[in-house]
Structure formats: C-alpha cells, structure tokens
Amino acid sequence: MSLSIAQAIQEAAQALREAGVSEARRDASSLLAHVTRRDQTFLIAHDDEELKADEIEQYRQAIERRASGEPLQYITGHQEFFRLDFEVTPDVLIPRPETELMVEAALKILDEVNAPSPLICDVGTGSGCVLISILHEEKGARGLGLDVSTRALRVAARNAERLGVSERIELIESDCFDALAPDAKFEMIVSNPPYVAEKDLRGLQREVREHEPRVALSPGADGLSIIRKILRDAPRFLKPGGHLLIEIGFDQHERVSAWINPKIWTLLDIHKDLQGIPRTVALRKRAY
C-alpha cells in the first residue's frame, strides 16, 4: 500500500488524537521526521512524496509507542536543552525548560565571581544536561557529576563526549555526596533532585508517571528528603563564598526557605519559572 508523507501524518495524527495525545499533529510530524531522517521543512515541501515500505512500518511502530503513552523524546532519543541536543533514554529524566533557569542562574553567578577555573558539582546529574550546559558555556570550568544510577551516568558520559566537554568532566556513582572524599571542595554545587511527593505521583502526566525513572522523580513521602540532605551536607563541600543552586517543586519554596540557616547561608534569590512558580533556590555559603 502506497502512502504519501501528508497521508501518513494525517493517519498518525488521528490515531494519536484518539489515544489522548495532546499535541497529536506535532508529534506525528516529529516522529516521521525522525523515521525518515528528514527535517520538518522537507516534509512540508514534499508532502506528496511516497514513503518506502520500511519507513511506513517503522513509522507505525513509533506511533503505536507514542499512542501507548511513551514520551516522544524516548522514541526519538533526543531532547533540546539550553540550545544543545541531548541524548535521552528511559534511564534519565527528560530535560525540562524550567531547569534551564538553573543554568542561567549558575552562569550569571560564575560571571560575577569570575573564578578562573571553577569546579562545579552536579548532584543527581542524570543526562548531564545541567552540568554539561554550564561547562559548554564556561570554557574554563570543570565539573563532577554524581548520580546513584550507573545507567544514567553512561548517558551523561555519551552526552559529554558528543558535546565536547568530556575532558573537563568526571562522573561518579554516588548517593548524593556519599562517594566524595571528605576534603572535596567546590566553587558551586547544582542539583535538580527528585522532589515529587508520593501523593502527587498519581497526578502526573501519563508519560511521566509510567515511563520516566521513579528514582529521579520522587524520594517518597513529602518529596523533600533529598533537598534536606543537600542543604545539610553541601556546606562541607563548598568553599567559603561558594554557591548552591537547587531546583524545587511548585509548592515547596516556603518549607525550603524555613530550612535555610542564616548562619551558614545567604539566600540570594528564589528564581521563578515562566509560569511564575518559585523554582530555583540560589544560596551563597557565608565566609567565616
């Protein structure tokens, strides 16, 4: 059976709409671009071109996966973050636009302190998107990425290699700071930790709830145990005047603010995302 690009997208978009996918036509087009290795401009300009039989088969398999709730990014294996193309697999969280806020805040701080070769630690690095994005912009910076998942670290290593920062990054399996030497010291610590409360997991989108790694989403209970641990332990690994940036959940800023010890930290800001939600806590360790 012959099928043109336009017909394939129309058929796929209808299947995705019936499956409850919100951006059905966009995802249908993106998946066809992935399968045919063509960009969107080509698909539009050549919408009457017939697809090959193997392309039709691969495309329908991809549409079936998306209709079942599998995220588009896990099917294509890619997600853009801070203008860079990151590999993603089901072993890592899909990078979110709101997390770019932490990269922006980190880069602004690094520019202001003007350290010649800052050492940055990323707790729960996942795909490496935060740390790699910072290193990509700050050519003199070096980084250490920590994650409890060895599979996630392998994804981060491939991203670091592909994006040209592998010589300035080290990746270590670690539950928070547990694998660090007692005398390790950093100019900056960043973290997008698991922070979804147990009770909120059921309300997440199907794509997130059923497909993204649970260990990277939630530590259980109120979702704040890892944040508490980072706030407690980070001062030991920061140089005086060093900075800590943590991403938090939509309803957590008041509780997190209450835990900030003014004898240890100066609260610089709690940056809001584009929806006005307090998202990134920026702290500076006091110089004793």
pLDDT tens readout for residues 211-250: 999 989 988 888 899 999 999 999 999 999 999 999 999 8
User: Residue 114: what pLDDT?
Assistant: 80
pTM: 0.93
User: Residue 47: what pLDDT?
Assistant: 85
Segments in the chain below pLDDT 70: 1, 288
Number of CB atoms found within 10 A of residue 167's CB = 9
Q: Measuring CA to CA, which residue among 251, 248, 274 is closest to residue 97?
A: 274
Q: What is the pLDDT of residues 171-214, one digit of tens each?
A: 999 999 999 999 999 999 999 999 988 898 888 888 999 899 99
User: Residue 218: what pLDDT?
Assistant: 86
DSSP-derived 3-state class of residue 281: strand
Percent composition of the chain: helix, strand, coil (DSSP 3-state, to 5) = 45, 20, 35
User: Residue 22: what pLDDT?
Assistant: 87
What is each CA distance from 176 to 146, 183, 232, 281, in whole angstroms? 7, 16, 11, 18
User: Residue 126: what pLDDT?
Assistant: 96
User: Residue 57: what pLDDT?
Assistant: 94
- Here the tokens at position 151 are 């599979």
